[in-house]
Structure 1
Amino acid sequence: MKISLGAKPLALPAPVWAVSTYDPDGKPNSMIAAWGGLCSSQPPCLTVSVRPSRHTYRGLTQRKAFTVGVVSEAFAAQGDYLGMISGKKTDKFADTGLTPVRSDVVDAPYIEEFPLSLECRLIHSYELGVHIMVVGEILDVKADEDKLIDGKFPDIEKMRPLIFSPGSRAYHTVGDHVGQGFDMGRKYVK
């Protein structure tokens, strides 16, 4: 039997994304966001929600650009730290040893150590309660070559992305391969 948990953001899993920008002084900055996902295939877009009080939000809106880095299991502690302290107070890249790389596509840095980076141009923003949901058009995707399938698509088992459980505030990573999408359900096609 199911029980009511009330109106809470408990969808599982949530991504562990490093949203990176240059701050108003031009310094690379990054924060962790779990409220996000893909939202369009044509044009390719993603959405991420950021509180307007966050240091990253200011850089994102001023430069109209940001990157999303998929944090891997190997860099879980560094990723977690990006969400613990404001870039107003410290240089998160110096603190963690992560490497900001200037995008050649958008006016934002991506993080070299994270296996997948999506470079986005800000195209919309929507006020939603305590967050601003931003929509970014994905202009390029950068991936570690050794973590691709046939040189074309990210291999989730090699990338080992972190996922987040909002209720318990715990990090996990991906599990076993279950089957192929748009294939397993064929037995129900009439």
Structure 2
Amino acid sequence: MAKQHWKPGTMVYPIPAVMVSCGSKPEDYNIITIAWTGTICSDPAMCYISVRKNRHSYDIIKESGEFVINLTTKNLAYATDWCGVKSGKDFNKFKEMNLTPAPSKEISAPIIEESPLSIECKVKNIVELGSHDMFIAEVVNVQADEKYINEKTGKFLLSKARPIAYSHGYYFELGKLIGQFGHSVMKKKTREIKGKKGKARKA
């Protein structure tokens, strides 16, 4: 199969499309849509966002040292896009998109009440990269919407919220479940167990 060679680019897709809320005072509250984000450490729990220096939220986050990563859904797709193309210098994004700023537990920046999961973060380091600066942060608290928590198992069912992802300029609703972590090994073990039982019966 033939392959084409492209110039270097950010082609790791699909990726999350999140709304990052920031600001330590109500008059400074803002939302920026971020696709350059992800997990970088489990213990302590750490993540990152990368932001252009000319974005309105850049200075807010740099000065406060705090932000919240709010996961997005199909119902939030329009607001997610709008908050990414409009500037907080010109609009109150919470008001314009009918979103609700609610208190965080550990930081001053607000969560977005309508988000199914909000991740409160404290900046630990800022790395200058080029077009973007990376804000490396420690997760200090997570707020999960109770309506997506299974009462019997206690598991958080994000799939019920109909999450979205971003891929090369487009938003997509995530599809059906095709497996779980470790399912390839689990299937192999199941076959081995069944095989041993079959041999035992024959013996």
Under a length normalisation based on structure 1, what TM-score does the superposition of the two structures give? 0.91
Structure 1: tracts of 5 or more residues without a match: none
Q: Deviations over 1:108-165 (max 9, x none)?
A: 1110011110000111110111100111111111111111245644313112221001
2:105 aligns with: 104
Give the equivalent residue in structure 2 for 1:40. 41
Which residue does the alignment assign to 1:148? Answer: 149
Aligned to 1:22: 23
Structure possessing the higher radius of gyration over alpha carbons: 2
Q: Which has the higher strand share?
A: 1
Deviation at 1:188, TM superposition (A): 6.6
CA distance in 2, matches of 1:124, 1:161: 29
Q: Which residue of 1 aligns with 2:161?
A: 159
**SS in structure 1 opposite 2:85?**
coil
Structure with a larger share of its residues in helix: 2
The answer to whether the 8 A contact 2:24-2:109 is kept is: no
The change in CA–CA distance for 1:106 and 1:151 in structure 2 (over 3 A counts) is: farther
1:156–1:174: 8 Å Cα contact kept in structure 2?
no
Q: CA deviation at 1:91?
A: 0.6
Task: Give the letter aligned to residue 9 of structure 2.
Answer: K
TM-score, with structure 2 as normaliser: 0.86
Count of residues in Structure 1 that have an aligned counterpart in Structure 2: 188
Contact 1:145–1:151 at 8 Å: present in 2 too? no
The residue type paired with residue 138 of structure 2 is E
Q: Percent identity?
A: 32
Task: Show the counterpart of 1:138.
Answer: 139
How many angstroms apart in 2 are the aligned matches of 1:25 and 1:38? 28
Hey, what does 1:62 align to over in structure 2?
63
Distance 1:50 1:164, change over 3 A: same
SS at match of 1:154: coil
> 1:24 touches 1:62 (CA, 8 Å); kept in 2?
no
RMSD of the alignment, in Å? Answer: 2.0
Partner amino acid for 2:114?
E
